[in-house]
Amino acid sequence: MKIKYRIKKQEEFQTIIGKRKSLANAAYVIYYQPKSEPWCRVGISVGKKLGIAVKRNKYKRQCRMIIHEILEFDDFPYDIIIILRNKFIKQSYLDNKKDLESLLNKVTII
């Protein structure tokens, strides 16, 4: 996932989370708002309860790869924040991909 498709600043995280438009399942929580750029941007957050920094970075890399496989950045109409939950660790890569794909489909339908 290219740098221009990422949300990194805390202020941007807080504005999107502050809109309180969200969807969730066992592995993810997604906050979204209409995109401000011609392409969508994605921010990923992993809490400290999910492990030490090495493991949290691994989970972020996996999530970025899933997003890269699923999402068309130019066509998706929202900027999104993805927060990983504890269930993400316990599931396989394919199950995590299915869960995220179903949530993103729900976001585009709404």
Quote the domain boundaries for residue 91.
Answer: 3-103
- The Cα 53–Cα 68 span in angstroms is 22
* Average pLDDT over every residue of 3-9: 88
Q: Is residue 108 part of a domain?
A: no
Q: Residue 95 has which token pair?
A: 């199950």
Sheet of 78-84, strands arranged across: 22-24, 28-34, 78-84, 42-46
Q: Is residue 109 part of a domain?
A: no
Count of structural domains, the chain: 1
* Average pLDDT over every residue of 61-86: 91
- The Cα 18–Cα 32 span in angstroms is 10
pLDDT for res 110: 59
Q: Is residue 84 part of a domain?
A: yes
- Residue 86: give its domain's CATH number: 3.30.230.10
CB-based contact 29:85 (threshold 8 Å): yes
pLDDT over 80 at 89, yes or no: yes
Q: Is residue 49 part of a domain?
A: yes
Q: Is the pTM of this model over 0.85?
A: yes
